[in-house]
Structure 1
Amino acid sequence: MWLKNNSMRMKKYPNDYICQSPQKWKGHVLAEFQPRDCHLPNQYLILSFIVCGILVIILFSVVIIRKLRWDIKYYIHMCSHRQSSYRKLAEDKAEFDGFVAYSSRDRRWIMAELVEQLEKRHSYSLFLYERNLLPGGVFIEDIHNSIDCSRKLILVLSNNFMSDHWCQYEAAIANHTVADGKGDKIIVILLENPDTKHITSSFKTLLKSTQNAEWANSVNGQKLFRKRIIELMAK
């Protein structure tokens, strides 16, 4: 189109303008060339590629955010408060001996076993969110403050725990505590064998890096568990 509209500006056009390539057009006058075989990129095809690329980026971002949502919440909390969530407390300044992270569906076991053994028989003070968390506060901030004021962070791992969102957040706090070099603050209680779908890399890391005690259904197994949990609390 440009050549047709500007042919008057070109000297000795069209006779002196001979094609050299491609081979099938070699020797032909340029004016004879008709770009029927030339296809400009389709604008709709380009737009489709752009839209697909944006959708892939959005989908990838959603997957990453969903996978790391508790770590992201943790870092947001840390940045908004600009202080360590794990202040090292002297034992005589700790308000509670242990913060218990558990699923409300395991409450019966918590009250019948953990509270019975640690509080009633050995006089340890435990923080239970259903009992000790005051209404009206900011839940995330209250959880952090309560963990800070507790000498131990006790995670009662079960399938109920691993499928609970807030329990996953408390597990993320525990992982960060370990990463900060304070793994001795964490006690993990294995209430049952978890389903494989709940075994994530973060839970594996938590189990390998912390002290733990395993609950058993047998009488002797329960005796060993109670002895173990008292040993861990005394450290």
Structure 2
Amino acid sequence: MRSIAALLVLFLTACASHQTSAPTVSPATTPEEADLVDLRTLVPDIDLDIRYAGANNFTGAPVDGYDAPKCYLLRPAAEALAAIERGLRDDHLRLRLYDCYRPVRAVRRFVEWAHAPEDGRTKAAYYPSFDKPDLLGDYISPTSGHSRGATVDLDLLECDDTGVSCTPLDMGTHFDFFDTLANTESRKATDAQRANRHRLRDAMQAGGFRDYKMEWWHFTLDPAPSPGVAFDIPVR
């Protein structure tokens, strides 16, 4: 009995060691105080399509905390992403950013939206296989790595020789499509679509980012520069 009890204690201790505690929210009130860098100060012409600053997202409305369509990241993440972008351009490829740093208040808004009654406006486009409450957990969480300033959601564009005309590669789903089809290795995607996902993943991993296998577009700098701290500074 004692040996069983000892094993149980070890098991519970191991489980506890793998739990991720909620981050501390920084008292910083400006990007400068937090060392959040506007990515366009490093790459002035990087392609930005910041979805939560407008209505083209799963909530169907601009999201709290996004007052401008800008991409802020902690300096190490911003510099790493800028280096990836510069390297891709040699192969006539570019990144398109959908989301970068995400204020804590925006994460709260997502949770509120998931608990609100269904109005059906965005279900077919973003979560056809789920009811809103079922998105809580795997897709919508009370905390987000984005709020720590080193996570990005992005796409890969293929450009002509001039670099002016660029088209997104076929990834099989659009950004924020909540379905197993968006899993990087989904067998529901075609071989060509998975190859495009791998092309994006390989470029990001080579630049120091790790992927999130449930969402082909989601990457976090590894190691994260500030894993225990989140920010609630509006994007302006």
| TM-based fold match above 0.5 | no
Higher strand share: 2
Higher helix share: 1
Q: TM-score, normalised by structure 2?
A: 0.27
Q: TM-score, normalised by structure 1?
A: 0.27
Larger Rg: 1
